[in-house]
Amino acid sequence: MSVLIVGSIAFDTVETPFGKVEDALGGAATYASCAASLFSNVQMVGVVGTDFPEEHLEVLRSKGIDTEGIERTEGKTFRWGGYYDFDLNQAHTRYTQLNVFENFNPIIPDSYRDPQVLFLANIHPALQLKILDQVGTPKLTLCDTMNLWIDTTRDELLRVLERVDVALMNDAEARQLCETWSLITAGKRVLEMGPRIAIIKKGEHGALMFARTSGGSDSLKFFAAPSYPLEELRDPTGAGDCFAGGLCGYLDYTGDFSLESFRKAIVYGSIVASYNVEDFSVERLKWVSPEDIATRYNEFMLMTRFE
């Protein structure tokens, strides 16, 4: 079984109150793939420039990620620069340089065309549609998106939503897409756009899951999970991508796509995100262990239970 993940691969220059990195390995597909690799086999599709060092590919491969689908193109790798103030929930963008991403035409390698789980990480919805056309019939298809596409390519995004099983987005994006301040209303409206499950990521406030009724499981239609209570975090970049990647990896590993399984997957996604924000880039994910994940899963259960 495997998860196919498509999205951006980037050089991130990030400043937070706790430090700074320049041209560090980043991008939605990078974070999501590293996260998913903690649970399952990952195939990764994206584009990098000639400036992308072999050592970054080595990082991905050391996590067991199949990098055959990473295309190297003449030009510079996609770059993002940004900073966070003490309100670590809010990223401030300094620059976005699309570079090789500008003319990216994703081609899925033949060996990737039959994944169990397909995750369309944040990327232009036109590219997400191209991926959907190239991949057979995954058992589960998920997508993420961002404010820019809701603003500028809404129609294409809606076509993507019609074709996926699960839509992931953050709270601000859900409000913007659904034109409502209420996240509860937004979650329900996303379900009307196509997906059978909508997951709204709320950063430090956790995540909400909305599902369409499916035969008698009404009581499972809504799920609310807090985030892991971290006191020290250094860089929130990629938290949402790690959440999604961890979720996809866990679902692929179990092959169980029931609502009960999604609940656990959301908790695992939150745990991976909580580790990732403890350091810059994907540094922390390099050495997170299965025991680390199990420990926080247990804590998650204890911190949410009541009789």
Q: Which residues bind a second copy (CB under 8 A)?
A: 86-88, 181-185, 188, 202, 204-206, 208, 219-220, 222-226, 229-231, 260, 263-264, 266-267, 299, 301-307
Distances (CA, A) of 257 to 67, 141, 166, 248: 26, 11, 11, 10
Between residues 139 and 188, which has the closer beta carbon with respect to a second copy? 188
User: Which of 121, 101, 107 lies closest to 42 in space, CA to CA?
Assistant: 121
CB of 259 to a second copy, least distance (A): 10
CB of 76 to a second copy, least distance (A): 35
Between residues 50 and 214, which has the closer beta carbon with respect to a second copy? 214
Between residues 206 and 238, which has the closer beta carbon with respect to a second copy? 206
CB of 5 to a second copy, least distance (A): 24
CB of 116 to a second copy, least distance (A): 22
Residue 269 in contact with residue 243, Cβ under 8 Å?
A: yes
Q: What are phi and psi of 285, to 5 degrees?
A: -70, -15
CB of 85 to a second copy, least distance (A): 8
CB of 87 to a second copy, least distance (A): 6
Between residues 139 and 263, which has the closer beta carbon with respect to a second copy? 263
Between residues 91 and 230, which has the closer beta carbon with respect to a second copy? 230
CB of 68 to a second copy, least distance (A): 35
Between residues 147 and 304, which has the closer beta carbon with respect to a second copy? 304
Between residues 58 and 192, which has the closer beta carbon with respect to a second copy? 192
